[in-house]
Structure formats: C-alpha cells, structure tokens
Amino acid sequence: MENLQNIIGFCAGVMGVCVMLPQLYKSYKTKSLKDISWGMLILFSVNCLLWLIYGIILASNPLVLNNSLCLLIGLCQILLKVKYNKN
C-alpha cells in the first residue's frame, strides 16, 4: 500500500510541476512578465515552501522532491520578473 501511495504522490507532483513549466518557458522566451502578478508568484512560492517543510517533517520523498522543484520554478519566475521589470 505504501508503494501505491508513493506512486500517486509522485504522479501528482509531476503534474504539479508541469503546471508552471509552460509559463516559465514563455516568460523566459518573451522576457515579459507584466501579466503575472507579484501576489500569485509569492503565494505560489510560499505554498511550495510550506509543503516542502511539511514533506520534510513527514519524511515523504514525493512531497520533498515535488515541492523542491515547484519552489525552484517559483523562484525562477520571481527572478525573471525582477530582471525583466527593470527594462
């Protein structure tokens, strides 16, 4: 049963990571993030950080891996927004 839980957790995580990848790619290619709100980026990143901490507390590999990746994507989006908003 634990293997099934981990499989479901990893699959859900992959889908969660994939949700933001197209936006990250578009942001990088167009160098425009004017339509992406700071609120969304900050809430997304804080949400990922909290899930990451929760996963560490539970020693849940799916939560730790997936939310580490999501947090990285969120931070990349924030960095791109800072970089391209200066132009």
| pLDDT for residue 40 | 92
Give the span between the Cα atoms of 40 and 45, in whole angstroms.
8
Q: Report the topology of domain 2-85.
A: Monooxygenase (1.20.1280)
Contacts with 22 (C-beta within 8 Å, 6 or more apart), sequence order: none
Contact 17, 77 (CB under 8 A): no
pLDDT of residue 79: 94
Is the entire prediction scored with pTM above 0.85?
no
CA distance 63 to 83: 30
Neighbours of 63 (CB within 10 A): 21
